[in-house]
Amino acid sequence: MKATEKYEREKKAFCAEIVRIRSTIDFDVSSRGWCYLLEEHGLTKGEFDRAQKFINDCRKSGDLPLDICAEDARRATDNLEDLDKEDPQDQADLLIEGLRNAHKAYLPFSFWEMQDVYVEMLVEKVDLRNLFSPVCEKFHIPIANAAGWSDINMRAAMMRRFADWESQGKQCVLLKTHGHFQNE
């Protein structure tokens, strides 16, 4: 019985520490990403698989909030219905308000037209995408997760964008996070 009690105490302390760490960061972290964050707390690479499973088990059991980990956009569900929750008058009011503010989203020219360079960013993990996305959004930098074997369609689209900007006299820059990308 003492071993079970000790395990439960340690699990509770671990979960409390995860929640505390989460409150100190401003980006979403995947279950695997937590392992990288926990390296500075003594977790070794050899323990990553076990720690990732433990974190997910704690989420499933309710010991950690389900949303303590970032959603994996690669596994997102398409074609879900998005039902209107407002009554028809409220919906019409929202649409009218949207039309009144549509000019704020009007973008008649590219941010990059006034720059000497065109920049895109590739990362290899969803955590890095979540980390860099706010800065990339601020500076209009397209960002993608190449995650191992990056899709040939994604790479071809990037090459077409680069070719287009190069034809306009821009120097194209691809920023990528540390790591190996397959098929470079």
Model pLDDT for residues 93-152, shown as the tens digit of each residue: 988 999 999 988 888 889 999 999 999 999 888 888 888 999 999 999 999 888 766 677
143 touches 50 (CB < 8 A) = no
The pLDDT of 60-84, averaged and rounded, is: 82
In the predicted model, is pLDDT for residue 54 greater than 60? Answer: yes
Q: What is the amino acid identity at position 117?
A: V
In the predicted model, is pLDDT for residue 183 greater than 70? Answer: no
pLDDT confidence of residue 119? 97
CA–CA–CA angle 150, 163, 146 (5° rounding)? 15
Mean pLDDT score across all residues of the chain: 87
101 touches 63 (CB < 8 A) = no
Using the structure block, give the residue that is written with the tokens 């070794």.
44
pLDDT confidence of residue 135? 94
In the predicted model, is pLDDT for residue 79 greater than 80? Answer: no
The structure's pTM equals 0.64
pLDDT confidence of residue 138? 93
In the predicted model, is pLDDT for residue 10 greater than 90? Answer: yes
β-bridge pairing 117-123 and 171-176: parallel
User: How many CA atoms are closer than 13 Å to the CA of 25, on its beta-carbon side?
Assistant: 21
In the predicted model, is pLDDT for residue 61 greater than 60? Answer: yes
pLDDT confidence of residue 9? 94
List of E strands, the chain:
117-123, 143-145, 171-176
Phi, psi of 25 (to 5 degrees): -115, 155
Percentage of the chain lying above the pLDDT 70 cut? 93
Distance CA 162, CA 118 (A): 8
